[in-house]
Structure 1
Amino acid sequence: MLSYMRRNAGSWLIKAMLVGVALSFVIGFGILPTLHEGDPGFVVAEVGDRRITRGQWDAAYENMLKFYQQMYNYPLTQEMVKQMRLRETALDNLITRALEQQEAARLGLQVSDDELQGRIRSLPYFQRNGVFDRDVYLRVLSRNQLTPDAFENDQREQMLLERLHQFVRGAVKVSELELWQNYLLEQEKVDLQFLVFDPTDYRDTARVEEESLRKFFKENEELFRTSERVEISYVRFSPEAYLPRVEVRPEDIEEYYELHLDEFSHPEEVRLRHILLKLEPGAKEDVFEEKRRALQEILEKVRKGEDFSALARAHSEDATAIRGGDLGYVKRGELVPEVESAAFALKPGEVSDIVSSPFGLHILKAEDVRAARQDTLDEVKERIREEIAREKARQLARRKAEEFFWEVKKSGKMEGILLDGEAVPVTSSGLLGPDDPLPNAGREPAVLQAAFGLEKGERSAVVKGERGFYVLEVRERRGPEIPAFEAVREQVEVKYRDSACRDLAKKAAEQALEKLRGGAPLEKIAAPSGKAVQETGFFSRLSGMVPRMGKSDEVVATAFSLSEKDPVPDRVFEVNQKFYVFRLKDRMIPAREEMLAKKESLLEEYRKSKEAEVYRDWLSGLRERSHVKVKVKAL
């Protein structure tokens, strides 16, 4: 299921399956928040009379982390987690949820039992052949470690918050003038001509002298200040080292197989392609009919032998269009009922008639069909043996690390400890910064995090790292310091040369700009240096990227402020460490008739965007008016 979701993260069919995830990640990937009842010292935030505990925050963070790791199919490093601000987001989402709950209660919003049951029965992943199946329902909940009561309480809360969203957004109106102004904002495009001045092109020009280096170092000492560093001694207990010591018995393999039958079952699957023409819920009859006629023409081309994937690339409005409409292998329960019924009725190579679903109109093609089957024990026993061996080795490594820790605690030193009659080797690290690798172990963020939390002479308990279990002792700590010039001379030269090259590139760009504003053509300005005049091609102000330059909100804003009368900006722009001089070449303004031809779909799209903006503003105001007290440095 997860691999399927990863392949189709932008597709229409998984949107219905992310209902449980969309609750601001508070419930994580199918798991409700674990409300640990800590003492008042563990309260991390107060929202009115509600308290958010460290346990709730940790649970929300772990669920969010697990969701991203499963979606992208690899573990996130500490640096990635930091950049994504997952901890801050988890706490912010908990605060938002508490505010919404309080406001819904104040407004007297409620969800009846009948409404709740109707909602659950409509969810496609609890249905068999389009009908709610209680056995499927209980099995799905069990796999996700949920009880019916917990899941139903969560669904009731979700429905309540959806009702709150509807209440806030209900007054949003969009006029035709507002729609045109928004369409103009989105569709107006400009094309720029430019010269680029790259500092790396000036490396041979930049002169480096000893006196200049020393002066640069003196003026920029903070650039070379070291981070806090620690020196540690540590012992690593690697699970791989214990693999030869573990025994996996036949009965272990049989027991694992019996307890994990679902893991080795393969339900019927269809390798599916589709072409989707989207329709908004409640679309008018003329809009529906227009889409149906267009899709019928595509279907006739398919039946005359035209390539399905090429037609999907050209016409499908789904995210899978770039892959020729390929949805990969899908199972029952992963599609909305209307599409599932049609898909699983197809034989390999067959194409469906037009299928209508809540997402629009589809044509389906079955590339292949895999019958349901169960792996036999003989087929998977080696795989199971490896999995059990790895887990036993991991447990043994942890146990040995704990034995070592207690021996160290008794003896008062790490050196000379014997385990199983053998001396345990201790590794010394030398001075390490927060992001440095450990000798013989590589990057271990958890180990260094533990080290920086200890004082000189203190030892850690067992620390779980990415490559094993560790016990460590801090031998030395050094605070940040500015080193002597001689110790960092090479670094100073690199930074000085970079600075000098940057100055030369900027000066050359400013000289070119002065000539351009004086009326000289770009081609003439570029000729002496051999530079090529480049062109961005047309781009919109909402694209976020300037073609062939990169992301720069400043360049975009300036480009759209230029005119035929005043086509050159008054300054040089730096984008991705390069300097740019540019002029407006052309502007493309959409015709109002274009907007009117697509008025209904544009109106619906813009209304939803405006509703979301209104809700964000309302939520921001609610937060400002409410008593929210954050007691940790997370936001």
Structure 2
Amino acid sequence: MGSSLLERMRSGSDSTFMQVLIALVLISFLGWAGQPAGDTSRTVAVVNGKRILEAEFGRQYRNAAQMQEARMGRAMSDAEQNQLSDQVRQDLIEGEVVLQEARRLGLSVSDTEVARQLLQIQFLRGENGKFDREIYERYLKRLKMNEAAFQEEIRADLLRKKLRELVFMGANVSEPAILEAWKEANTRIDVEYVRIRAGQFDADVVITPESRTEWLEINQEQVQETYERDLERLYDHPERLRAHVIVLTVHDDGVRDDGLKSADLAARLEKLRDALAGGADFEALARRWSEDATASVGGDLGLRPVPQLPVEAASALAEVQPGGISRVVVTAKDVRLYRLDERIPAKIDTLDEVRDDIADRLIRAEGTPALAAAAAEAILARWKETGAPPEDLLAARNLTVASTGPIPLE
């Protein structure tokens, strides 16, 4: 491999040089909803039969989130958290793909190599510059890992490094620019995968009144625990309001570009309020005057839980009955006028009211992961057999093949 590849690179006779081919991998994502919350053994992804567990994903995500927020100097938004979560999951999958290829080629890492690498980690050294056992144990405690798991991570990293060295061994040239160009052009993998969620199999789990009753007879305690765990999130419904709004905005200094101040805008909304009292159409006025995103839909805010409303809005709407118009609300950034359309009182669903729904959810949660896994195995087997995605099996579940695009081994 070495001399012929080196000759190609030096002569430039082969513009594509030599590409490293790694076996096609099918990755099946099992839905999280099918496993109990907080269960660190639940599966995030399966790569050629190897499960990537929630415990590993959660630890990697927490570390990445801490570093990201430290770099940004602030907490991440929901969108940034979702993006980071996807990236961490992708990194774990890519790392597992490379690890499997290294093992397939018969590469291994000895305990001596792991120990040598451990002793070289700078931040585990004490004031004397040598490995410090106490610092090491504190570090493991902070990571919430035991010594064996941490050393297995070192072993995996070294194994990936060996694969990269194997790939590059034929390009041992002195010119750094040539070597870097060859690495960039050739040392990449492209992973195709199918995302299979357990929730896609909900309809395949048949639940009859009889089967539900039978299941409940032996799982009442689990239903009770689920109800108590999800009470605040699913069954404790705060008061909700359906309303419309007209918003006139101001700058941070309370003055608009046209010179109008908050007081001027409040006076304008008072005139609109008088017009509404005289029978004017609120939605038509919102489309004409309102300056926020709801203007195009007549100021419709939809149904909102009261705790999610701005304090000023909740206070103003508490004073009116459905069909009524609020007082003018002045905030630091805008002036608002609300119409209350509907008020839905707070309510807590009792266990008796939701028992059957909880049972159905848990029954499906028990059944769908196995169905998803079986589907993944069937797709993978056909894919390996034919070398191409099994379109009929994919179409039956409305599944599609996705690709990571070229992934550098570095």
| Pair in the same fold by TM > 0.5 | no
TM-score by length of 1: 0.30
Which has a greater percent of helix? 2
TM-score of the superposed pair, with normalisation by structure 2? 0.44
